[in-house]
Structure 1
Amino acid sequence: MTVRFFGSAASALFRPNSTTMSPTKVTIVGSGNWGSAIARIVGQTTKAYSNEFDPTVRMWVFEEMVNGEKLSEIINTRHENVKYLPGKILPENIVAVPDLVQSCDGSEILIFVVPHQFVKGICKQLEGKISPNAHVVSLIKGVSVQENGTGLKLISDEIREYLKCPVDVLMGANLAPEVANDMFCEATIGCQTRSVHGPMLKRLFHTDNFRISVVEDAHTVELCGALKNVVACAAGFTDGLGYGDNTKAAVIRLGLMEITKFVEHYYPGSNLSTFFESCGIADLITTCYGGRNRKVCEAFVKAGKPMAEVEKELLNGQSAQGPPTAAEVFHMLEATNLISSFPLFVAVHRICQGEMPPSGMIDCLRDHPEHQA
């Protein structure tokens, strides 16, 4: 395979291998459903570009016992994550490591793919212990709250603050089971230094069935990935109430309006074209029809049980990111007196908290400001 390299201004990490430089080591931080699916891709590309990447890819595994066996040992001997991605073989160059710091030791690319509420704890463990040339690619769809409680913080900013390294993001219409089944899909990398780092990151993730586009509008890419989960909750509520595709189309349209308004208000300077990338409208559509947030919220309506209980029953240890993201968005809207401008986001939060019946979702759609002009 012929490999081309771009950008004379690239740092040593992003220059081709030479007699004085070793291939770039890659670690995947996380081994859930999505982490295991992306491991199948990265396992392929690192072998294909073995003069650029070290083909041995370490994957940090939160150690669990599965039928009396350690999950890490199952992955390393049978090459299958039997708990989170059963039935799909991982490439043999994916090596499970249960020690977080050890898994990242010497790696120059760290692919973060964990629930967003665990990022701070992971970063604190890694602080000061990673390669000085480390570069993070975040696949995490969520946001965090600033310590003073008055606003949101992008996950990429939180990682950057702790680890003092560049952070780019990968988002898109990427339901993990379909990616694991090698079904064709697209994804978007938001890279602030596209001309320098973009080509190399594209090689790391781009395959025949996982097609990558790279844009510099990284904050928009990341926010689309987080906020679409809130809209997917709204879609799940309407599904649970028995409404059809016309109603879901309204949820998607009004949700997209709130996403674009939110991004432009709090993070001005976004490019309209980014919302039409895979990270934008495509991810919104697929999540509102097939994602875990939609599934959990539909079941929440039908079962009448607390959200946490439904999540535990349906997701096999995984978590839905929509409800906590909705809570974090709500607190920011409340702190900035903009609750009335984002009724769909607010309704999702209140329904998840039990402060509003699910039927209130329809009232929210019916009375949405977009219909008042």
Structure 2
Amino acid sequence: MSDKVTVLVAGSWGTALATVLAANHSEVYLWTRKPEQAAEINEAHTNHHFLPGVKLPGNIIATTDMETAVSGSKAVVIVAPSSGVRQVAHSLKPFWKEDMLCIHATKGFETETMKRMSTVISEELGCSEGDIVVLSGPSHAEEVVRLCPTTVVVASPDESRAKAAQGLFINNDFRVYTNRDQLGVELAGALKNIIALGAGLSDGLGFGDNAKAALLTRGLAEISRVGVEMGANPLTFSGLAGLGDLVVTATSQHSRNWRAGSMLGQGQPLNEVLDSMGMVVEGIRTTEVAYAISLKLGVQMPITDQIYHVLFKGRTPRNAVEALMGRDRKTEMEAISQETWEQWHS
């Protein structure tokens, strides 16, 4: 069997995952739409815009041709922004083979349809959602390429596919666990970005560690609550894709979501924040979707509600915090339904 693996596309996380794969496999193809980026990767072995100062392995081959990128690959890893996943999967379809392992590592929703990425990809490829493996967990691209110890999870209801993905990536620097809760891993990876925005807002306002600790704790409670309502295993939110990814995304300056929130907390308008970032901030799109989901399901997501109003309705970050602190008195466990409690302890 071919040892070729393909990554679509060449952003920071896609490039970082390509470096992991390059340590394990002889040929790693990295697809990009930009000829100048492909030339830089092939000639200088750098991807300066996304990962400045990083030298890429020589067995990473960049191309703008989808057929060249995919033909003969044993696995395809989709790492596009959520807004571009459907188009990338559509472009992949003519060269897709059923025996190819398909993994995605995108943390977000399709805003227009509120669909998860595994749903979007399966629709375009004409396969089952269960055929798609989700990769998620606490993993800054900037640290992965420096071979900092990193641990992630790969999830699929098909255990054989999850184990195949585990074998594809795992090495001494990049540890991989499997999980059968594809839904929970995908939801946790997307929803924690909202709480990371909130953590940035709190830091931008100068509120300190007490406020951020409370926000992370209650934020994890609300994303778990909506996840369980949608059918996920509550324990997944205590694992790498939930608590692990929340901690790393909400406490590090590597995090685009934290940085965007911090700038908003310091008073910068949203359009200026996005212009200065130069890369996609998934938490902003995810907040819009999660707010709609919470209304549809009738699930309380007070932090998400306030961040939504800051992003899209003109509420000031300080007023949002005052609204959260002024909510009705509750017991700590009051917001956890009996059904959730029973699932947790079953």
Residue 105 of structure 1, CA deviation: 2.7
Residue 354 of structure 1, CA deviation: 4.0
| Residue from 41, 53, 56 that aligns with 2:27 | 56
Does the CA contact (< 8 Å) of 2:223 and 2:301 recur in 1?
no
- Structure 1 runs of 4+ aligned residues shifted over 4 Å read none
Name the SS for the 1:188 alignment partner: strand
Q: 1:303 to 1:146 in 2, by over 3 A?
A: closer
Residue 276 of structure 1, CA deviation: 2.5
Name the SS for the 1:137 alignment partner: strand
Name the SS for the 1:187 alignment partner: strand
Does the CA contact (< 8 Å) of 1:29 and 1:59 recur in 2?
yes
1:40 aligns with 2:7: no
1:344 aligns with 2:307: no
Q: Which segments of 5 or more consecutive residues in structure 2 lack a partner in the other structure? A: 335-346
Equivalent residue, structure 2, for 1:300: 264
Look up the equivalent residue of 2:283 and give its one-letter code: G
Distance (whole Å) between structure 2 residues aligned to residue 227 and residue 298 of structure 1? 18
Equivalent residue, structure 2, for 1:325: 286
Does the CA contact (< 8 Å) of 2:30 and 2:60 recur in 1?
yes
Equivalent residue, structure 2, for 1:258: 222
Name the SS for the 1:89 alignment partner: coil
Q: 1:299 to 1:129 in 2, by over 3 A?
A: same
Name the SS for the 1:294 alignment partner: helix
1:359 aligns with 2:318: yes
Q: 1:158 to 1:255 in 2, by over 3 A?
A: same
Does the CA contact (< 8 Å) of 1:107 and 1:130 recur in 2?
no
Residue 331 of structure 1, CA deviation: 2.0
Name the SS for the 1:86 alignment partner: coil
Q: 1:361 to 1:94 in 2, by over 3 A?
A: same
Distance (whole Å) between structure 2 residues aligned to residue 308 and residue 168 of structure 1? 34
Does the CA contact (< 8 Å) of 1:228 and 1:284 recur in 2?
yes
Q: 1:132 to 1:244 in 2, by over 3 A?
A: same
Q: 1:92 to 1:253 in 2, by over 3 A?
A: same
Equivalent residue, structure 1, for 2:42: 76
- 95-104 or 291-300, which moves further after superposition? 95-104
Residue 279 of structure 1, CA deviation: 1.0
Equivalent residue, structure 1, for 2:8: 29
Q: Deviations over 1:208-237 (max 9, x none)?
A: 121111011111011110000000011111
Distance (whole Å) between structure 2 residues aligned to residue 345 and residue 309 of structure 1? 22
Q: Which segments of 5 or more consecutive residues in structure 1 lack a partner in the other structure? A: 1-21, 47-54, 65-69
Distance (whole Å) between structure 2 residues aligned to residue 215 and residue 138 of structure 1? 15
Distance (whole Å) between structure 1 residues aligned to residue 210 and residue 294 of structure 2? 28
Equivalent residue, structure 1, for 2:144: 179
Q: Deviations over 1:55-101 (max 9, x none)?
A: 2111011306xxxxx12111001111111112111111110011234
Distance (whole Å) between structure 2 residues aligned to residue 125 and residue 116 of structure 1? 15
**Cα root mean square deviation, aligned:** 1.8
Distance (whole Å) between structure 2 residues aligned to residue 211 and residue 293 of structure 1? 24
Equivalent residue, structure 2, for 1:116: 82
Equivalent residue, structure 2, for 1:284: 246
Name the SS for the 1:174 alignment partner: coil
Residue 129 of structure 1, CA deviation: 3.0
Residue 44 of structure 1, CA deviation: 0.4
Name the SS for the 2:94 alignment partner: coil
Residue 347 of structure 1, CA deviation: 1.1
Distance (whole Å) between structure 2 residues aligned to residue 276 and residue 142 of structure 1? 19
Distance (whole Å) between structure 2 residues aligned to residue 167 and residue 370 of structure 1? 43
Aligned length: 327
Distance (whole Å) between structure 1 residues aligned to residue 256 and residue 330 of structure 2? 29
Distance (whole Å) between structure 1 residues aligned to residue 121 and residue 133 of structure 2? 10
Look up the equivalent residue of 2:23 and give its one-letter code: Q
Q: Going by fraction, where is helix more abundant, 1 or 2?
A: 2
Equivalent residue, structure 2, for 1:218: 182
Equivalent residue, structure 1, for 2:338: none
Name the SS for the 1:371 alignment partner: coil
Name the SS for the 1:332 alignment partner: helix
Residue 303 of structure 1, CA deviation: 4.2
Distance (whole Å) between structure 2 residues aligned to residue 103 and residue 368 of structure 1? 53
Does the CA contact (< 8 Å) of 2:22 and 2:59 recur in 1?
yes
| Residue from 234, 239, 242 that aligns with 1:272 | 234
TM-score when normalising by structure 2: 0.89
